[in-house]
C-alpha cells in the first residue's frame, strides 16, 4: 500500500508538471502570435509575396529546347522576384526521344505533356498548338487543376514585374481579362464567320489570360479544336484576312483562342495597361505589370532580339549571359524625353532581369565563380533599385489587394433610356472604373421584340414591372429594386461589392469601396436630405426601426451579402409606400409633386432600416450639374434642369427623341468654357464648367456611338468641332485622372511604409523567439522529463512486484500446498 501511495503521488506530480508546462507553452505561443499579428489589417508583404484571398495558379508552356530554357530561367526569376501569388507550373511539351536527353527538368515545377509540334493526325508542323494542348492536358491530369479558382496563362518570353491578380484587374467568372491584340482582323471578316457561330463575340485579345477555372474547363477543348480548324484552313491564311504579316498561319493559335472563347460566350475585359513590349513607349503614369519581349528592341546602340539566341545554350554552359545593356544612369544622360526614357529603362530592366536569373542559376549549379565585373556587381547589388528607377512623379506603388466590384444600372427599352445608357457606358470606360458594368433592362415581351438597343451595353433582361402585375399601378421606378432582385436570383457573380447607379449619370472617376470607405454592413451613399419621411409618421408606419432610417440615395456602394439581404425588403417596402396614397403629401414625403414618385427611394431607406443596415453619407461622391461643388465629384446626376447663361439642358425635353438610332443626333452644344464671364466666382466657374462637361460627355458618347454604327460621315465642319471638343474633354479627364492617381499613390505609399516598418521590426527579432524554435525546445524538454519519470516509475514497480512474489511463494511452501482460505488460494495461484 505504501508503494501504491508513492506511485499515485508521483503520477500526480507528473500530471501537475504537464499541465504547468502546457500552460507555459500556450502562453509563449500566444505572445508570439500576438506579436506577429501587428498590422493584420493590411496585406502581408513581409516575405515579398502577396497573399492571395483566392487560389491562383500560373501556367506557361515551353518545349524541351535550350531556346526555351533561358526563357524559363527568366520568367521563373521574375515570378519569385515579383511576389506573384500562388504556384507556377511549366507545361513542357516533349517527345519521349527528346525527353531522354533533356537537361532542364529542374528549371521549374513541371508537368510533362505530349508534344503536338508535329500533329499526330495531319503531320502538320506547328509548335504553337502545344499551348492549348498543354492546358487541356493539365486540366485533365494535374491535381493542381482541382485546387484552384483563377488561372493566369503566360508565354515563356515574358517578365513579371508586379503581381497580376484577378481582383486588381477586375476579372470575373464569365469575363476573363487579356491584352488587346488589334491586328487580329479576322474577328471582323469572313474568318470569324467561318469558324464560330458567334462572330460578334470574337475579341481581339492575347498576350496574357486571367480566367476563372470553370471558364477554362469549358473553353480549353474548343481553344485546341479551333486552333486545328484555323490551321487547316489554308485558303484563309492571307495577310488581308488574318493580319499575319508572314501569311503562313502562324497565329492560328491566337485565332483558336478568340473563336473558342466566342463559342462558349466568354467576353473579355481588354486591358491595355497590364502588358508592354520592350521598346514601346509606356502610357504616361502607368506602371506595366508584365513585359513581353517577343519583338526586337534597342536602347541607343545596344539591341536585343530573342530569335538571335535560338541556339545559344545560356543555361547549361556556365556563366553565359546576354550582352549587357547600358546602365540606367547612362540612359538618363542620353535620353531627355520623359516617356522615351521610361521606355528605355523598361527595356534594359527586361534583359537585366533575365541576366539576374542566369547568374543565380549558374551559382546554384556549381559553376566556377564569375569574374566580378562592374556589370556583375551591378546585377548582384543594385539591379533591383536601378532598373526600377523612374522619374519620381511617374512611379506607381505595387498594387495591393482590392476586392472585386461590379457596377449595375437599371433602364427600360425606350429611346429615352438608350441615349442615357450610351452616355453612362462611355463615361464608365473613360473613368477607368474597375470591374464590369451591367444594364438591368426592364422590358415587356412585346417591347423586346421591336427593341433596337440590345448592343448598347452588357445587358441582363428582367420582366417589366412598370405596370404592376397585381395592382395595375403604373410606376416605372419600381423596376430598379425588382431588377436588382432578379439579377441576384439569376446571375452568378463573384464580385464582393456592387456599385448601383442610375442611367442618367456621368462618371468622372472610379467609384470604389476602398476609396470611399465601403465595408460589409456599411453602405456608402449620397445624402438625400429631402427624404423628410425618415423623421415623421411615414417611417413609423413602414419600418420597425424608424431611428435606423437614413436619408440617402443616388449612388450605392454595397457589399454583395448586404445587397442579398436588402433587395427583397427594398422591393416590398417600395410597394408598401406606393400603395400608401394617404401619406403622399409634400409635408410628409418631401415630394413636391405629391404623386408618390419617390416611393422607391423610401422603399430603399425603409428596407435598409428593417435589417439595421448602416450608411456612410458622402457628399463628395455625387452632385447635380448646376449646383456649386464643394469638392470635385466623381459622379454627375443630371436628373434636374440646369443652365449656363442662356443655354440650358433638361433631360425631360428629350424623352421622345431617338438619339441613338438616328445618325448624328446630338444635344445643343453648351457654351465654350473660355466664354464664361470673368466676373464669376471660383465656385460659380466650377459649377458652369461641370455643367458644360456633362453635356459634352453625352455628345462625345453619341458621336462615338454613331461612328461605331457605321453612320455616313457628317459634314466636315461638324467633325472638326467634335474633334476639338474631344481634345478638350480628354485634357480635362487626364488632369483629373492625374489628381486621382496622386491621391491613390499617396495612400498606397503610406501603407507600404507601414508594411516596411513591420517587416523590418519582425526581422530584427532574434531567432530565439521564433515560435517554431520555442515549440521544438519546450516539447523536447517535456518528452525527456516524461520519459525519465516513467522509467523511474516502472523500475520501482518492477522491484516491488518481485519482492511480493517471493513473499507469496514462501507462504505457499510453508502451508504445504493446502489452501486454507479462498483468498490465500488465489494469492498462491497468482504467484505461480
| Residue 73, pLDDT score | 96
Q: Are 636 and 504 in contact (CB under 8 A)?
A: no
Query: Which residues have C-beta within 8 Å of that of residue 528, sequence separation ≥ 6?
Result: 551, 552, 553, 554, 601
- Within 10 Å of residue 55's Cβ, how many Cβ atoms? 15
| DSSP code at position 234 | G
Report, at the CATH architecture level, how domain 405-623 is classified: Alpha-Beta Complex (3.90)
| DSSP code at position 630 | S
Handedness of CA 354, 359, 364, 365 (dihedral sign): positive
Q: How far apart are CA 791 and CA 787, in angstroms?
A: 6
| Residue 370, pLDDT score | 86
Q: How far apart are CA 258 and CA 495, in angstroms?
A: 25
Domain residue spans of the chain: 2-37+770-831, 56-276, 296-394, 405-623, 635-739
For 56-276, CATH number out of 3.40.50, 3.90.550, 3.30.460, 3.30.310 equals: 3.90.550
Using CB atoms within 10 Å of the CB of residue 136, give its burial: 0 to 12 exposed, 13 to 18 middle, 19+ buried.
buried
Decide: pTM greater than 0.75: no
| Residue 760, pLDDT score | 44
Which grid coordinates are listed for 55? 487560389
Which grid coordinates are listed for 756? 516596411
Rg (CA), the chain: 36
Q: How far apart are CA 713 and CA 625, in angstroms?
A: 31
| Residue 246, pLDDT score | 82
Which grid coordinates are listed for 819? 489452501
Which own/partner contact pairs does 367-371 have at CB distance under 8 Å and 24+ positions apart? 367/318, 367/319, 368/318, 368/319, 370/319
Angle between helix axes 252-263 and 213-232 (nearest 10 degrees) is 130
Q: How far apart are CA 294 and CA 357, in angstroms?
A: 18
CA angle 128, 134, 140 (to 5 degrees): 155
Which own/partner contact pairs does 668-676 have at CB distance under 8 Å and 24+ positions apart? 669/695, 669/696, 669/699, 669/721, 669/725, 670/644, 670/695, 670/696, 671/644, 671/645, 671/647, 673/728, 676/644, 676/645
Which grid coordinates are listed for 515? 476609396
| Terminal Cα-to-Cα distance of the chain (whole angstroms) | 22
The DSSP element (H or E) to which 216 belongs, if any, is helix 213-232
- Cell numbers 482582323 label which residue? 185
Nearest C-alpha neighbor of 61 from the set 147, 141, 192, 157: 157
Measured in degrees and rounded to the nearest 5, phi and psi for residue 540 equal -65, -30
Nearest C-alpha neighbor of 155 from the set 108, 217, 215, 91: 91
- Altogether, the residues listed in the chain come to a count of 832
DSSP codes of every residue in 64-86 = SSHHHHHHHHHHHHHHHHHT--S
- Within 10 Å of residue 14's Cβ, how many Cβ atoms? 15
DSSP codes of every residue in 672-725 = PGGGS-TTS-HHHHHHHHHHHHHHHHHHHHHHHHHHHHTPPPPPHHHHHHHHHH
DSSP codes of every residue in 255-323 = HHHHHHHHHTT--PEE-SSSEE-TTSPPPTT---SEEE--S-EEETTEEE-GGGGTT--TTTSTT--PP
Query: Which residues have C-beta within 8 Å of that of residue 781, sequence separation ≥ 6?
Result: 21
Query: Which residues have C-beta within 8 Å of that of residue 657, sequence separation ≥ 6?
Result: 415, 419, 665
10-residue stretch averages of pLDDT, the chain, 832 residues long: 52 57 54 39 40 79 95 96 93 93 94 94 94 96 93 96 90 92 92 93 94 95 96 92 87 95 93 93 88 94 94 93 91 79 92 93 89 84 47 42 87 97 96 93 95 94 95 96 96 94 96 90 95 96 95 96 97 96 94 92 97 94 94 93 96 95 95 91 92 96 92 58 45 47 47 43 42 60 68 61 55 44 40 38
- Beta-strand ranges (E) seen in 445-561 are 459-463, 497-502, 505-507, 522-527, 552-559
Q: Are 159 and 350 in contact (CB under 8 A)?
A: yes
Tell me whether domains 56-276 and 405-623 share a fold.
yes
- Beta-strand ranges (E) seen in 416-565 are 436-443, 459-463, 497-502, 505-507, 522-527, 552-559
Q: Are 413 and 476 in contact (CB under 8 A)?
A: no
Amino acid at each position: 500500500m505504501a508503494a501504491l501511495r508513492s506511485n499515485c503521488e508521483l503520477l500526480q506530480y507528473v500530471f501537475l508538471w504537464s499541465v504547468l508546462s502546457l500552460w507555459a507553452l500556450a502562453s509563449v505561443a500566444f505572445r508570439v502570435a500576438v506579436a506577429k499579428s501587428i498590422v493584420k489589417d493590411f496585406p502581408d508583404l513581409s516575405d515579398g509575396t502577396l497573399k492571395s484571398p483566392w487560389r491562383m495558379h500560373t501556367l506557361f508552356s515551353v518545349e524541351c529546347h535550350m531556346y526555351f530554357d533561358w526563357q524559363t530561367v527568366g520568367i521563373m526569376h521574375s515570378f519569385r522576384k515579383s511576389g506573384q501569388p500562388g504556384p507556377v507550373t511549366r507545361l513542357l511539351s516533349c517527345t519521349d526521344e527528346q525527353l531522354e536527353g533533356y537537361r532542364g527538368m529542374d528549371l521549374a515545377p513541371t508537368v510533362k505533356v505530349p508534344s503536338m509540334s508535329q500533329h499526330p493526325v495531319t503531320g502538320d508542323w506547328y509548335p504553337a498548338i502545344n499551348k492549348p494542348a498543354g492546358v487541356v492536358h493539365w486540366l485533365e491530369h494535374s491535381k493542381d487543376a482541382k485546387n484552384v479558382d483563377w488561372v493566369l496563362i503566360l508565354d515563356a518570353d515574358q517578365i513579371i514585374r508586379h503581381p497580376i491578380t484577378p481582383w486588381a484587374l477586375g476579372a470575373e467568372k464569365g469575363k476573363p481579362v487579356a491584352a488587346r491584340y488589334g491586328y487580329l482582323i479576322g474577328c471582323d471578316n469572313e474568318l470569324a464567320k467561318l469558324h464560330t457561330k458567334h462572330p460578334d463575340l470574337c475579341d481581339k485579345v492575347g498576350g496574357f489570360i486571367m480566367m476563372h477555372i470553370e471558364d477554362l474547363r469549358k473553353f480549353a477543348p474548343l481553344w485546341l479544336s479551333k486552333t486545328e480548324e484555323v490551321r487547316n484552313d489554308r485558303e484563309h491564311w492571307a495577310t488581308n484576312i488574318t493580319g499575319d504579316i508572314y501569311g503562313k498561319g502562324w497565329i492560328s493559335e491566337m485565332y483558336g483562342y478568340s473563336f473558342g472563347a466566342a463559342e462558349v460566350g466568354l467576353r473579355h475585359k481588354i486591358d491595355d495597361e497590364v502588358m508592354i513590349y520592350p521598346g514601346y513607349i509606356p502610357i504616361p503614369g502607368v506602371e506595366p505589370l508584365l513585359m513581353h519581349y517577343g519583338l526586337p528592341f534597342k536602347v541607343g546602340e545596344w539591341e536585343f532580339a530573342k530569335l538571335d539566341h535560338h541556339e545559344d545554350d545560356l543555361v547549361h554552359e556556365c556563366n553565359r549571359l546576354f550582352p549587357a545593356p547600358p546602365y540606367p544612369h547612362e540612359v538618363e544622360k542620353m535620353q531627355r524625353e520623359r516617356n522615351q526614357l521610361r521606355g528605355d529603362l523598361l527595356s534594359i530592366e527586361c534583359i537585366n532581369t533575365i541576366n539576374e536569373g542566369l547568374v543565380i542559376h549558374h551559382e546554384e549549379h556549381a559553376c566556377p565563380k564569375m569574374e566580378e565585373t562592374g556589370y556583375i556587381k551591378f546585377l548582384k547589388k543594385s539591379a533591383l533599385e536601378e532598373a526600377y528607377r523612374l522619374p519620381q512623379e511617374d512611379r506607381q506603388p505595387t498594387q495591393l489587394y482590392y476586392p472585386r466590384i461590379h457596377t449595375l444600372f437599371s433602364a427600360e427599352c425606350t429611346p429615352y433610356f438608350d441615349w442615357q445608357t450610351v452616355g453612362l457606358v462611355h463615361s464608365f470606360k473613360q473613368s477607368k472604373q474597375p470591374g464590369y458594368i451591367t444594364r438591368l433592362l426592364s422590358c415587356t415581351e412585346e417591347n423586346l421584340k421591336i427593341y433596337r438597343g440590345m448592343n448598347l451595353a452588357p445587358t441582363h433582361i428582367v420582366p417589366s414591372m412598370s405596370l404592376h402585375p397585381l395592382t395595375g399601378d403604373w410606376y416605372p421606378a419600381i423596376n430598379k429594386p425588382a431588377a436588382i432582385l432578379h439579377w441576384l436570383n439569376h446571375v452568378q457573380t463573384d464580385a464582393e461589392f456592387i456599385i448601383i447607379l442610375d442611367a442618367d449619370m456621368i462618371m468622372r472617376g472610379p467609384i470604389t469601396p476602398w476609396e470611399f470607405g465601403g465595408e460589409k454592413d456599411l453602405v456608402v451613399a449620397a445624402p438625400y436630405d429631402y427624404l423628410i419621411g425618415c423623421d415623421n409618421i411615414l417611417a413609423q408606419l413602414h419600418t420597425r426601426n424608424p431611428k435606423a432610417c437614413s436619408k440617402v440615395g443616388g449612388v450605392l456602394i454595397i457589399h454583395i451579402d448586404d445587397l442579398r439581404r436588402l433587395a427583397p425588403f427594398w422591393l416590398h417596402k417600395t410597394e408598401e409606400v406606393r400603395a400608401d396614397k394617404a401619406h403622399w403629401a409634400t409635408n410628409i414625403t418631401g415630394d413636391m409633386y405629391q404623386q408618390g414618385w419617390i416611393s422607391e427611394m423610401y422603399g430603399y431607406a425603409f428596407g435598409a432600416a428593417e435589417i439595421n443596415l448602416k450608411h456612410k453619407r458622402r457628399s463628395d461622391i455625387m452632385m447635380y450639374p448646376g449646383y456649386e461643388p464643394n469638392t470635385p465629384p466623381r459622379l454627375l446626376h443630371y436628373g434636374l434642369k440646369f443652365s449656363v447663361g442662356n443655354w440650358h439642358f433638361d433631360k425631360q425635353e428629350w424623352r421622345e427623341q431617338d438619339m441613338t438610332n438616328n445618325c448624328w443626333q446630338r444635344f445643343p452644344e453648351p457654351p465654350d468654357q473660355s466664354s464664361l464671364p470673368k466676373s464669376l466666382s471660383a465656385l460659380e466657374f466650377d459649377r458652369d464648367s461641370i455643367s458644360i462637361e456633362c453635356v459634352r460627355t453625352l455628345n462625345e458618347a453619341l458621336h462615338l456611338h454613331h461612328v461605331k454604327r457605321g453612320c455616313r460621315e457628317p459634314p466636315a465642319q461638324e467633325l472638326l468641332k467634335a474633334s476639338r471638343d474631344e481634345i478638350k474633354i480628354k485634357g480635362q479627364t487626364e488632369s483629373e485622372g492625374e489628381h486621382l492617381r496622386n491621391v491613390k499613390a499617396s495612400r498606397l505609399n503610406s501603407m507600404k511604409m507601414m508594411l516596411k516598418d513591420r517587416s523590418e521590426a519582425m526581422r530584427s527579432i532574434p531567432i530565439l523567439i521564433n515560435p517554431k524554435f520555442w515549440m521544438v525546445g519546450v516539447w523536447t524538454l517535456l518528452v525527456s522529463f516524461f520519459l525519465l519519470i516513467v522509467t523511474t516509475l516502472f523500475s520501482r514497480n518492477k522491484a516491488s512486484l518481485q519482492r511480493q512474489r517471493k513473499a507469496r511463494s514462501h507462504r505457499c511452501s510453508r502451508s504445504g500446498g493446502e489452501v486454507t482460505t479462498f483468498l490465500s488460494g488465489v494469492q498462491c495461484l497468482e504467484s505461480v
